[in-house]
């Protein structure tokens, strides 16, 4: 009541102070009647506001107190929307355009990658005379489109094509079954043979612009059939397959060319959800070369450079490969190494070639190099603070890396040459899908001379 009187008095004072001086034609009685009407009007407004305030105060405890009214008297509640049908398809973005049904029995990912390169070279005259000039240049190292997914919960598929260089070539084109008892999964088509940690990892995620020199000894993609699985709480991965050597369109005719390849890899130490780990792996491959011929060659870890070691085609009625893998990571520091050797059967002694590499890196911004246990390979780097994006925006992830690699293609009558490379690199990961890299490569072809390369790449994949 007191507050009501004070409010009324305040309003009356405001009205009186704001009323202009009356003209002489208005009497005192008329002026008082007019002021009384205004006071009564303001009083009605105040009473109405007070009534509304009292109603709100009385409604608040009633809403908080447990209801004693029967259920039939309760206010109706809006019904929750029904769950989507199992075959309802939704589209969303997660490192690419993805589709999936509500029951996840059907899934698809539409994606691709683009890698634009620039390179500048210097070389000794003896090396240029022997293998050709090292010419500066630019290229799309890779320009790919893919679609992959899962149908009927257990049938996987992937179709990826590369358009770099002005023509279309097959990359991964396969189908298979997953989540099979005991076996795990089977795969049929054109895909990578299970050999080499560096080769099996996606080129989207390698720390340098090019893989190491001994990658020339890895079999890479061929047409085949493979069984694979991850066991022991995902700590051990195995794969075994039969393959036939094919061209870039998975075509092969003629005698020979068949072989088998297997790999066993695991993590004897795994901590902090993979930020700290040790990886060990072994792989072996044997095949009957088509046309009873074999050849090994390599560039100096720069794709626009010419081949600097090359055995040429030589007779071989059998080819075997072995490989050993070692890697470790602890927070922002990582190290990786492999040894590979290939031996051929044929006329003459000394037909073994080999190579190795050691590489390491450090994230200046504190990230780690992720590892995917299914497949036992390194995975996509995700900056903790993406470049100018999101509430946690920052400067992206910065990584320094270095590598020493060696490839010896001299053995007996085979004189392909020997080369040693030192590579230094810096990676700027703007976000999980975009990266800018700079690499410097010093290459020593032991018999012919040295070359140097400075390269840059803009990476994008989805």
| Domain membership flag for residue 306 | yes
DSSP lists the bridge partners of residue 398 as 428
Which residue shows structure tokens 């293609």? 409
Chain centroid to Cα 462, Å, comes to 8
CATH of the domain at 256: 2.40.160.10
| Residue 439 parent element (H or E) | strand 434-445
Give me the number of domains the chain comprises: 1
50 within some domain: no
Q: How far apart are the first and last CA of the chain?
A: 70
- Residues in Cβ contact with 439 at an 8 Å cutoff, skipping those fewer than 6 apart: 208, 209, 210, 301, 423, 424, 425, 453, 454, 455, 456, 457
Asked if residue 147 belongs to a domain, the reply is: yes
| 334 DSSP β-pair partners | 329, 361
Burial (CB count <10 Å: 0-12, 13-18, 19+), residue 459: buried
Three-state DSSP at 249 gives coil
Any domain includes 430: yes
Asked whether 300 and 453 are in contact (CB, 8 A), the reply is yes
Task: Tell me which residue range forms the domain holding 148.
Answer: 89-461
243: which residues sit within 8 A by CB, 6+ positions away? Answer: 193, 219, 222, 223, 224, 225, 258, 259, 260, 261, 287
Domain assignment present for 56:
no
Q: Which residue has the tokens 């094509």?
A: 161
From first to last of its 462 residues, the chain has per-residue pLDDT tens of 444 434 444 433 443 344 444 444 556 666 667 777 777 777 778 877 777 777 776 665 544 445 444 444 455 566 778 888 888 999 999 999 999 999 999 999 999 999 999 999 999 999 999 999 999 999 999 999 999 999 999 999 999 999 998 888 999 999 999 999 989 999 999 999 999 999 999 999 999 999 999 999 999 999 999 999 999 999 999 999 999 999 888 888 877 789 999 999 999 999 999 999 999 999 999 999 878 889 999 999 999 999 999 999 998 989 999 999 999 999 999 999 999 999 998 877 668 999 999 999 999 999 999 999 999 999 999 999 999 998 999 999 999 999 999 999 999 889 999 999 999 999 999 999 999 999 999 999 998 999 999 999 999 999
Residue with tokens 């603070």: 385
pTM of the model: 0.80
Is 336 within the bounds of a domain? yes
Q: Is residue 43 part of a domain?
A: no
Residue 10 included in any domain: no
């Amino acid at each position: 009541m007191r507050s009501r009187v004070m409010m009324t008095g305040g309003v009356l004072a405001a009205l009186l102070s704001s009323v202009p001086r009356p003209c002489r034609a208005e009497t005192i009685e008329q002026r008082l009647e007019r002021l009384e009407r205004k006071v009564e009007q303001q009083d009605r407004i105040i009473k109405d506001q007070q009534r509304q305030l009292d109603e709100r105060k009385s409604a608040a405890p009633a809403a908080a107190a447990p209801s004693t009214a029967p259920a039939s008297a309760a206010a109706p509640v809006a019904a929750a929307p029904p769950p989507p049908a199992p075959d309802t398809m939704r589209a969303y973005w997660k490192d690419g355009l993805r589709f999936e049904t509500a029951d996840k029995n059907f899934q698809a990912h539409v994606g691709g990658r683009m890698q634009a390169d620039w390179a500048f070279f210097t070389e000794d005259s003896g090396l240029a005379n022997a293998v050709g000039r090292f010419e500066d240049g630019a290229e799309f190292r890779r320009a790919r489109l893919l679609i992959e997914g899962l149908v009927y919960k257990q049938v996987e598929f992937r179709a990826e094509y590369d358009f770099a260089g002005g023509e279309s070539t097959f990359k991964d084109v396969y189908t298979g079954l997953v989540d099979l008892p005991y076996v795990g999964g089977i795969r049929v088509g054109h895909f990578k043979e299970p050999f080499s940690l560096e080769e099996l990892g996606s080129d989207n995620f390698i720390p340098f612009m090019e893989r190491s020199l001994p990658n020339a000894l890895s079999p890479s993609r061929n047409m085949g059939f493979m069984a694979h699985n991850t066991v022991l709480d995902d700590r051990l991965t195995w794969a075994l397959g039969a393959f036939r050597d094919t061209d870039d369109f998975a075509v092969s005719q003629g005698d020979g060319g068949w072989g088998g390849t297997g790999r066993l890899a695991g993590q004897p130490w795994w901590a902090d959800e993979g930020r700290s780990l040790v990886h060990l792996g072994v792989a072996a491959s044997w095949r009957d070369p088509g046309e009873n011929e074999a050849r090994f060659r390599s560039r100096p870890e720069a794709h626009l450079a010419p081949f600097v070691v090359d055995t040429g085609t030589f007779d071989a009625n059998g080819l075997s490969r072995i490989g050993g893998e070692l890697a470790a990571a602890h927070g922002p520091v990582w190290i990786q190494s492999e040894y590979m050797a290939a031996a051929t059967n044929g006329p003459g002694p000394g037909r073994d070639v080999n190579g190795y590499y050691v590489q390491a890196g450090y994230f200046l911004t504190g990230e780690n190099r992720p590892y995917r246990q299914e497949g036992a390979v390194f995975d996509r780097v995700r900056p903790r603070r993406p470049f100018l994006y999101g509430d946690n925006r920052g400067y992206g992830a910065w990584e320094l890396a270095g590598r020493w690699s060696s490839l010896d293609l001299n053995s007996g009558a085979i004189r392909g040459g020997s080369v040693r490379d030192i590579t230094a690199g810096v990676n700027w990961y703007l976000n999980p899908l975009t990266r800018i890299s700079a690499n410097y490569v010093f290459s020593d072809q032991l018999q012919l001379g040295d070359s140097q390369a400075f390269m840059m790449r803009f990476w994008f994949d989805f």
